[in-house]
Structure 1
């Protein structure tokens, strides 16, 4: 749940922060100017009492259409979103979960498609180069902070109510023209078990 939450909010913020301005409202207004976003990422997740896990991979976004968050290490996983559906693949379990997105249960996908909703669900403030979001309702996290450098998101930090922390560092960040459709069509290995939820 926390991993999905981080991804949803990140998709929204990445698409707004490239044209970074002096206020949170200015950032939110920039979504329509960003056509795509790609970055390598390393994610560190610390679960209290269990130590820290490290993941890495690459993310791709076509604004308002599709997003692909591809974990390459320590093993293959991915999240693939379009306007109606989320797909989650796990190579360790050889399972693909397909879930219909609804506004009531997937607030963060709604944020990606309509960033004006950010201020409906979060208290937002800027502190230096950090954009800090505090949920107004129980979403499983206390705060989400985005580190913005030279107009690009270079880092993310989250903390949940149980004291667990996630840190994401981004590199080779590029925004530009719309990405090819085949990027958002990852191969699903033969024999994968598929679960569909509506």
Structure 2
């Protein structure tokens, strides 16, 4: 369950991109600052998502769909609706994982790994993680229609699982639209965010942990 938890927390962000070139240090700082400024103005986010997971041992990709809600910097609901139902909720320092068979509730404080992943997860939704070079080594790539941030984990626990995380960013909205997870095992996960709505009211009940 721990590995699924880590994968789920890092998996909340999608789409193929054209070739891009790495930018210089000054331009990289400017891009990161613009994304972080936009993130500071984001109080909530909700969207549909399509997740495609390519297993290294299978030729067929596994596709699932669902809905994501984010609010106030410390709450996230990640809900799979097809082809199965599974709900993950982070509410401050508590996590709920609910399937058709059972519900598990854990404290983020119970594990240093949980604390790290929860912080990265919430920051990645908005792009704030780009400014935290303690967790990742970040390389920015520029383009007219899309920016890309390639993050290589510094923490040994994350580095043992993921070789790279790629965030795709809309340069007009300064917002993350894609996350690609490159796993050490050779598996790859891509999540595309669709029908995005920012700064609209989301009731606290959406993030209830019980």
Q: TM-score range by the shorter chain?
A: 0.7 to 0.9
Give 1:181 deviation, angstroms. 1.4
- 1:153 is aligned, of 151, 173, 176, to 176
Equivalent position of 1:133 in the other structure: 151
* RMSD, aligned α-carbons: 2.7
Instruction: Give a deviation string over 1:33-92, Cα, whole Å, max 9, x none.
Output: 21001111000111111332111000000022311001000111011001111111112x
- How does 1:13-52 map onto structure 2 within 5 Å? 22-50=30-58, 51-52=60-61
Give 1:29 deviation, angstroms. 4.9
- How does 1:62-77 map onto structure 2 within 5 Å? 62-77=71-86
2: CA distance between counterparts of 1:158 and 1:59? 18
1: CA distance between counterparts of 2:34 and 2:11? 17
Higher relative contact order (CA 8 A, sep 6+): 2
2: CA distance between counterparts of 1:56 and 1:105? 27
Where do 5+ consecutive residues of structure 1 fail to align? 13-20, 189-198
Instruction: Give a deviation string over 1:84-126, Cα, whole Å, max 9, x none.
Output: 11111112xx111111102712212123269467321101121
The alignment covers a number of residue pairs equal to 177
Equivalent position of 2:208 in the other structure: 185
Alignment partner of 1:123 is 2:124: no
1: CA distance between counterparts of 2:86 and 2:53? 15
TM-score with structure 2 length normalisation?
A: 0.73
Equivalent position of 1:104 in the other structure: 112
Specify the SS of the correspondent of 2:134.
helix
**Structure richer in helix, relative to its length:** 2
